[in-house]
Structures are given as structure tokens and as C-alpha cells.
Amino acid sequence: MLVSSTSACLRRAASSSARANASRSLATAAADLGFESSTVDGIKIATKDIAGPITTLSFVIKAGSRYATVPGVAHALQRFAYQNTPTRSGLRLTRETELLGGSLTSELTRDSIILTARFLKDDLPYFFEALSDVLSQPTLARHELAEIVGPLLKLDAKLADADATFVASEGINSAAYRKGLGLPLYAQATDAISIDTVRAYKDAVYTKSNLAIVASGADISTLSDLVSSYLETAPAGTASSTPASTFYGGELRIPTTAGNLLSFGYASDVSPTFNVLASVLGGASSIKWSYGASLLSTTAGKAYAKVTPYNGSSLLTITATGSPAEITSAGAAAVDALKTVAAGVSPEILKKGIAGAKFDALYALEGPAGLASVGKTLLASGSVPVTSSMVSEIESVTAESVKSLAERILSEKIAAVAVGKVSELPYADELGLKA
């Protein structure tokens, strides 16, 4: 059954070549990343034909939690991935994937639902068809929600509640954005999610206009043919949208036994200055068993800076972990580090910060996570990231712009969250911040 199914995939892919050539736009290449990109039947695609026996294929869908019509519905739709379709049952898909030695994953972010398959190169037609079925014709049966998906939603939420870092991330996003990017990533116990709600959301977001297909280890011609074979009749739809992200700020305190953590941050439009400032502050050493030489290295690994990029917004956070006493000390040290930057950045520190930001930006484009980043950019701009432009933008960051950003964080309202034994954790104003 499996061999005949795979053979059928190959035959249909080959027979569609002429039709695909007529429908696709001229493929373009981004030499610095090695991707070729194209638009086929209204679907944006990009692929990097690298040598090696393994192919990674990602369907990146503009359907993350920020677009949820009902809280938790994006999480439910993501968890319906790889369940039953008219073509094959979820059990059959699992057995065939294992027989071929491949793997299937699904991921939910605030921007996207990402369906990813990794497999031996020759099995591209089979896995492309499988992901296409998940996208275009999931059964979304009522009993699947009750018996399979519902318990998975509860398990995800339970595991997330036991992770202080995740709890803090949810809190900081809620304080920073409120709606949109501030919506919970996972379904909550209070969310009423019906199968009709999931079906309606699927119809709205699983469309050509919300889809980018990105691959590593496949050539553009083969990928184009497969798109024409299996997704030509997918609905065109309209691109998902939300109001422009607004930064509000504020402070949340969340009691939990999952661990102690304090995080504060600031958000604005996407800017490489955020990345350079995060690199200047540092805190996470690049050498094992060493605290590094960044400004936050004085906290001995108890505080670190990070930038989370979203479509239309950059969120810079500084997070402190440990005991309440260690967090209080590390939080104060983080504020002192910001004051140091606000007083002026030396050419040496700026150069190091720019180098770190360039590495982080380019490293984020590696591996399966990199395919998701490429897909998100493809949906937002219509083209794959161009590393030369990314590097140029980061190198154009000035000491004055980094200094100005640090001053804004110190003087303007920020978002803050304390997680854990909150009675012993400091408030933002006790650290000299405004929340």
C-alpha cells in the first residue's frame, strides 16, 4: 500500500510539470542563503538544494495565537495536525512515517503554525502529499477533539505551567501587548473551544495567502511541481491580519511553585538596535564553564538579555533567575548595566555587540527553526531574508542609538513579570524602573 501510494505521488508530480511551469512565477535566487524562491499557484515557496541524504520540509502558516478568533483555537488547530484525513488515518500516517524512517512535528508560535517533516530525500513526494492533506483536508472530527486533541491541550498547558520560564514569557507578552501578541499561546482551562470554532478558524487561515513552503535538500523545480499537484485547488483566502502591535507595559506577579524568575522588557517596531543592545548586555556565555565578559556577566549567569522577534515588533527582555535573593541582586545589576549603556557605549563594546548580534541573527536561520524564520519572512515581505542586508542593517547601528534605547527603557514604562515566590521578589519600581 505504501509503495503504491508513493509511486502515485511521483507519477502525479511528474505529470504536472508542464502545468506548473505555466502557473509559477519566475524563480529568484538569494545567493547568500542559498535559497531559490518562487510563487506557484499563489503559494510562496523557497528551497535550498543542499547535498546530503536528508530533506526538511516546512509548511509555515500565518495562523499563530495572535490571530486567534477565540482564545486557544490556534492551539487546538495545531494539535489537530497529523490526525485523520480522507486520504489516510492518523494511525496510518504514523505507521507509514515510521516505515520510511521520517519524523513529523507541529509547532505553534505567536505568528505561525509550523508543520515540519524530516525524511530521506527520495521520500519527498510522500511527505509533501501528507502535509498537503493536513493543510487542505483535515477531518476535524468532533470525537477527535474530545478524545485526542482536548487531552493534548490540557497536557500542554500542564507542562507549560510547570515551566517558570514559559510562565514568565506568557506574562511579559500579556503585559507588553495585551491583545494580539499578548494573547496566551496555549488554550486555558477557561477557554470554550468547540469543533465548529476550530473548523471556522481552519477555513480562515489554512489558505494559499497564509502559506509559505520552505525546504532544505530539495530543488525548486520538484517542489514547484508538487505544489501544483497537491495544492492547486486549495482556497486562496485572504491573509491573516491584526491591528498594529501596541506596547502598553505594566507589571504582573504570578505565584507558582515552578521556580523563581523576574523578567522585564520593552517593545517597539522591529529594529536591529534591540539586537545589538541585547548583545551588549549579554549574560549568556558563549563558552561553557565561563560567565563571559558581557555587562551581565557580573551576575554569574543569573541574568541574561534576549530579543524575541515578531512580525512588526521586537521585544527585548532581561530575565533574572535563582533564589529570591539572587534575583534581587541580579535585577539590580541588570539595571546598573542599562545605566552603564545609557551613559555611553565605547567603540570596543559596540563592535562586540554588533558582532554578537550578527552571529545571533545568522544562526537563527540555521536548521528547522531557520526554515520557519525564512517562511515567516517570505509571508511578510514576499522574499527570503537576504543576509547581506541583515548584516548591513546591524552594522549601521550606532553607539548613540544603543544609548538612546537604554535611556528609554530606564525612563519610560516597561513590562515586568515576577514568577514564583512573589512575596519575596522585587517590584519593578524597587529596581528603579517604571511599570
pLDDT tens, per residue, the chain with 435 residues? 444 444 445 444 444 444 444 444 444 444 478 899 999 999 999 999 998 999 999 999 999 999 999 999 999 999 999 999 999 999 999 999 999 999 999 999 999 999 999 999 999 999 999 999 999 999 999 999 999 999 999 999 999 999 999 999 999 999 999 999 999 999 988 788 999 999 999 999 999 999 999 999 999 999 999 999 999 999 999 999 988 899 999 999 999 999 999 999 999 999 999 999 999 999 987 788 888 889 999 999 999 999 999 999 999 999 999 999 999 999 999 999 999 999 999 999 999 999 999 999 999 998 888 999 999 999 999 999 988 999 999 999 999 999 999 999 999 999 999 999 999 999 999 999 998
DSSP result, 238-286: -----PPP----EEEEEE-SS--EEEEEEEES--HHHHHHHHHH--S-S
Same domain, 298 and 385: yes
Instruction: For residue 273, give its domain range.
Output: 250-431
Residue 101 lies in a domain: yes
Same domain, 281 and 408: yes
Same domain, 55 and 197: yes
Under a CB-based contact definition with an 8 Å cutoff, are residues 206 and 198 in contact? Answer: no
Same domain, 221 and 257: no
Q: At what angle do helices 324-342 and 272-281 cross, to 10 degrees?
A: 120
What are the residues facing 417 on neighbouring strands?
Answer: 252, 263
CATH of the domain at 274: 3.30.830.10
Same domain, 212 and 268: no
Under a CB-based contact definition with an 8 Å cutoff, are residues 231 and 132 in contact? Answer: yes
DSSP letter for 192, please: -
For residues 332 and 315, what is the distance between their CA atoms, to the nearest angstrom?
Answer: 20
Across the beta sheet with 54-61, the strand order is 28-30, 35-40, 43-48, 211-216, 54-61, 113-120, 103-108
* pLDDT score recorded for residue 165: 96
Across the beta sheet with 250-255, the strand order is 250-255, 415-420, 261-268, 313-321, 303-310
Same domain, 189 and 278: no
Cβ count within 10 A of residue 370: 20
Nearest one of 5, 39, 434, 426 to 228, comparing CA atoms: 39
Residue 243 lies in a domain: no
**φ and ψ at residue 179, rounded to 5 degrees:** -95, 180
Q: Nine-digit cell at 61?
A: 502558516
Same domain, 215 and 274: no
Residue type, 167: V
Residue type, 227: V
Residue 13 lies in a domain: yes
Burial class of residue 1, CB neighbours in 10 A (0-12, 13-18, 19+): exposed
Kind and range of the H or E run holding 435 = none
Q: Cell match 508542464: residue?
A: 18
Residue 344 lies in a domain: yes
* pLDDT score recorded for residue 20: 44
Residue 403 lies in a domain: yes
For residues 384 and 187, what is the distance between their CA atoms, to the nearest angstrom?
Answer: 32
Beta strands in 41-196 (DSSP E): 43-48, 54-61, 103-108, 113-120
What are the residues facing 416 on neighbouring strands?
Answer: 251, 264
Cα–Cα separations (whole angstroms), residue 287 to 172, 180, 301, 334: 28, 37, 12, 21
Residue type, 93: L
* pLDDT score recorded for residue 433: 96
Q: Which 3 state secondary structure label does DSSP give 89?
A: coil
Residue 238 lies in a domain: no
For residues 317 and 278, what is the distance between their CA atoms, to the nearest angstrom?
Answer: 8
Same domain, 209 and 303: no
Domain boundary among 230, 263, 288: 230
Q: At what angle do helices 272-281 and 347-363 cross, to 10 degrees?
A: 110
Domain boundary among 230, 265, 296: 230
Same domain, 54 and 162: yes
* pLDDT score recorded for residue 293: 86
Number of domains in the chain: 2
Same domain, 97 and 197: yes
Residue 244 lies in a domain: no
CA 249 to chain CA centroid, nearest Å: 22
Same domain, 209 and 261: no
Kind and range of the H or E run holding 181 = none
Residue 242 lies in a domain: no
Which residues touch 80 (CB under 8 Å, ≥6 apart)?
Answer: 138, 140, 144, 145, 149, 198, 202
For residues 120 and 105, what is the distance between their CA atoms, to the nearest angstrom?
Answer: 16
Under a CB-based contact definition with an 8 Å cutoff, are residues 149 and 72 in contact? Answer: no
Under a CB-based contact definition with an 8 Å cutoff, are residues 283 and 299 in contact? Answer: yes
Same domain, 427 and 310: yes
For residues 158 and 164, what is the distance between their CA atoms, to the nearest angstrom?
Answer: 12
* pLDDT score recorded for residue 26: 42
Question: What is the pTM assigned to this prediction?
Answer: 0.90
